[in-house]
Amino acid sequence: MPDSTPRLILGSTSRYRRELLERLRLPFEVVAPLVDETPLPGEAPADLAMRLAVAKARAVAAQHPDAVVIGSDQVALCEGTVLGKPGSFERALEQLRLMSGREVVFHSALAVVRGERVSSEDVMTHCRVRELDEASLVAYLRAETPYDTAGSAKAEALGIALMASIRSDDPTALIGLPLIALTRMLVDAGIDPLRSAAPREGAA
């Protein structure tokens, strides 16, 4: 990478976001953002996701003012209910029962901070979940154990079998880091993945 290219930091400890960012083949560091993620009273899901994405990026940027920092947050909404990370089989089953046969909207908020400049975007994904019986839901949870995922459905893995349809402008948004929007924002911040990507081992 050219010396003039700024450092890149992912302000997240999510392994899913780290794995997604690795697709761009850019060198980056990972720093945990120390941000209170408690929703504000009456805060809309989209506003919550965006506020936290920006707050995470700004918190890390304050420690590393020379870097370009990525912050992201995701909130899922079904029938007016916000679906967070279930954390347990019982809560995941409750979420999937609610989602069965219904639409779930995922707000994948993204923020990129460089100095005083903040770019942000909310990439929405509309998922229609199949009507599923209890046995199918239990079998999925036993096989996948998606207890660290908002909405309990990993569409990048077996969770795709839960879906009747997925609509989004960015196929990576649902996994947690919208790479199409991120690429655009990184270019604006001075990092072009196509020009800065590390070559694969053995490449000519």
Q: Could you tell me the residue ranges of all domains in the chain?
A: 8-196
Burial class from Cβ neighbours inside 10 Å (0-12, 13-18, 19+) for residue 49 reads: buried
CA dist 36 and 101 (Å) reads: 33
Catalytic, 73? Answer yes
Return the ∠ at Cα 81 (arms to 76 and 85), rounded to 5°.
Answer: 45
Residue among 73, 148, 188, 192 flagged as catalytic = 73
Could you read off the pLDDT tens digit of each residue along the chain, which spans 204 residues? 445 789 999 999 899 999 999 999 999 999 999 999 899 999 999 999 999 999 999 999 999 999 999 999 999 999 999 998 899 999 999 999 999 999 999 999 999 999 999 999 999 999 999 999 999 999 999 999 999 988 999 999 999 999 999 999 999 999 999 999 999 999 999 999 998 876 776 555
Domain 8-196 fold is Maf protein (3.90.950)
Specify whether the CB–CB gap between 22 and 8 falls below 8 A: no
- Tokens 């948004």 identify what position? 173
- Phi and psi at residue 98, to the nearest 5°: -65, -40
